[in-house]
Copies of this chain bind each other. A is one copy, B any other.
Amino acid sequence: METKNAENATINHPVVTSEDLVKHWQGHRSLTRRVIEAFPEKELYEFSIGGMRPFAELVMEMITIAHPGIVGVATGKWEQLDHGTAPKTKEGLLELWDKTTEQIDTYWPQISPQRFQETDVAFGQYENQIYASLFYFIDNEIHHRGQGYVYLRALGVTPPPFWER
């Protein structure tokens, strides 16, 4: 129900472009990678506060949202969510992280411009506009990474600065 003027204004001046959004996401993912690296190997898999999951499990949640997520966003074909089991070493986890980074870069250009405002049922479960699902993937990573920062501080490890991407 926008006026013609408002409509033109929106059309000529996007708030954020597709390229902005993938750079934003990959910037966050680059920081999360450094947070994974900052964990001592044992504590990555075992350390926990207040009954929460160890950071390796939170990372598996991020990975298993991001990869089938980007496929669903780009193609409309969604798998069921399954957070799987983390690779047994930090090196293995980082390899899986890097593979996911490549998959995002591969699929992103396949997202058609009109797709971002379409409504779809992410993972066959969560009905939302595509941009909102993408925001959810990113926000969920920031949320759990923030928890990882507390784990690191509790372990006496200085985490990488939040503003470095």
| Contact sample, A vs B, 17 pairs, CB 8 Å cutoff | A9-B112, A10-B18, A11-B14, A13-B114, A14-B14, A15-B20, A15-B116, A15-B117, A16-B131, A20-B131, A20-B132, A24-B135, A49-B49, A49-B154, A50-B150, A143-B149, A147-B150
Q: Are A50 and B147 in contact (CB under 8 A)?
A: no
Q: Per-residue CB proximity of A126-165 to B under 8 Å, as 1/0?
A: 0001011001100110111111011111111000001100
Identify which of B21, B51, B146 contacts A142 (C-beta below 8 A).
B146
- Name the 8 nearest CB pairs between A and B, nearest first: A146-B146, A50-B153, A9-B113, A13-B113, A50-B154, A143-B146, A150-B150, A15-B116
Which of A17, A131, A132, A150 has its CB near the most chain B CB atoms (within 10 A)?
A150
Q: In angstroms, how far is the closest chain B Cβ from the Cβ of A38?
A: 13
Give the bracket for the number of chain A residues in contact with chain B: 35 or more
**A12 close to chain B: CB less than 8 A:** yes
Q: Are B143 and A162 in contact (CB under 8 A)?
A: yes
Contact surface of A with B, Cβ cutoff 8 Å: 9-18, 20-21, 24, 28, 49-52, 112-114, 116-117, 129, 131-132, 135-136, 139-140, 142-147, 149-156, 162-163
